[in-house]
Amino acid sequence: MDWKTFQALLSGVNKYSTAFGRIWLSVVFVFRVMVYVVAAERVWGDEQKDFDCNTKQPGCANVCYDHYFPISHIRLWALQLIFITCPSFMVVMHVAYRDDRERRHRAKHGDDAKLYNNTGKKHGGLWWTYLISLFVKTAIEAAFLYILHRVYKSFYLPRVVKCEVVPCPNVVDCYVGHPTEKKVFTYFMVGASALCIVLNICEIIYLISKRIVRITNKFKRRNRDRAVHHDNYTDDPFNNCSMPMTRLEVIDKKDRPPSFKTANKSAHRVSTLRLEKKIRASAPNLSTAS
């Protein structure tokens, strides 16, 4: 398998990833691909030849090996690495689709016309594509861990296995080659896979929380704009004024002109006082005439 070509294909994913995505890609290449290529392949290089049974019955060793090791660790990990990196190509393909749409849009409407501000920015459909790719990668990692756990019984590799499968004549002891070394590499690869699952979950939480914060700020900004607009026009009940009034321009209640009821009371009181004065002024004249 040409891992250099594989790395070149995934290098384009790095510029569209978040910080957690870049860490995930580094873990995949450093702790999984490099360990797989440099050390793990050599440990499992010719594992069937190192599987020795204490019998010379033809076919017994092959049958026992197939019974206890139905799937080779090294091939299972190779499939796992291929499958977990395939969802990342969804993001690259989506960005390539956006680039093609942007190119056709500019060819049709001119170079100044823009369909996307940034084709690699995770907004709209690309955000959903990226989020779905994270869920798919997490599900694939968990599925392969379950398969490894199910087939090899808690990732454990015994030194000796007892086999009584036909055509073995009786219970045969078979010995696994380099059992401790294989066990160490198994636990290491399982730990790296678990770390990748944790990073994927952290990135999912980061993307969703960032999206929620952005939507919340958008709603707050919209409500604030509505409140400002309402406050500017609340002083004009008919909304006829050419210039919106502010709260500082509202006349204080003490300086407002009297209402109709207050003015009517004052006028009635003034007329009553004038009538009383006339009566008092005419009273001495009446007494003199009598």
Tell me the per-residue pLDDT of 102-148, one tens digit each, with 9 for 90 and over: 788 777 777 777 777 666 677 777 888 888 989 999 999 999 999 98
Give the model's confidence band at 192: pLDDT under 50 very low, under 70 low, under 90 confident, else very high: very high
Q: What is the pTM of this model?
A: 0.69
Between residues 251 and 171, the one the model is more confident about: 171
- For residue 174, give the 3-state DSSP assignment: strand
The pLDDT, as a whole number, for residue 250 is: 46
Give the model's confidence band at 251: pLDDT under 50 very low, under 70 low, under 90 confident, else very high: very low
Count helices and strands (H / E) in the chain: 9, 3
* Predicted confidence (pLDDT) per residue in 230-240, tens digit: 555 454 544 44
The Cα–Cα gap between 208 and 128 comes to 10
Average pLDDT of the chain is 77
Between residues 268 and 108, the one the model is more confident about: 108
The pLDDT, as a whole number, for residue 141 is: 93
* Predicted confidence (pLDDT) per residue in 40-90, tens digit: 777 776 677 778 888 888 888 888 888 888 888 888 888 898 898 888 888
The Cα–Cα gap between 93 and 78 comes to 23
Helix axes 179-232, 125-152, angle to 10 degrees: 150
The pLDDT, as a whole number, for residue 248 is: 45
Residue 205 has pLDDT above 90, yes or no: yes
- For residue 211, give both structure tokens: 């999206």
The Cα–Cα gap between 237 and 156 comes to 80
Average pLDDT over residues 8-37: 80
Q: Of 196, 267, 216, which Cα lies nearest the Cα of 23?
A: 196
Residue 165 has pLDDT above 70, yes or no: yes
Q: Are 158 and 127 in contact (CB under 8 A)?
A: no
Q: Are 3 and 33 in contact (CB under 8 A)?
A: yes
* Range with top average pLDDT, 211-220, 259-268, 274-283: 211-220
The pLDDT, as a whole number, for residue 284 is: 55
Percent of the chain with pLDDT over 70: 73
Residue 255 has pLDDT above 60, yes or no: no
Quickly count: other Cβ atoms within 10 Å of residue 128's Cβ: 12
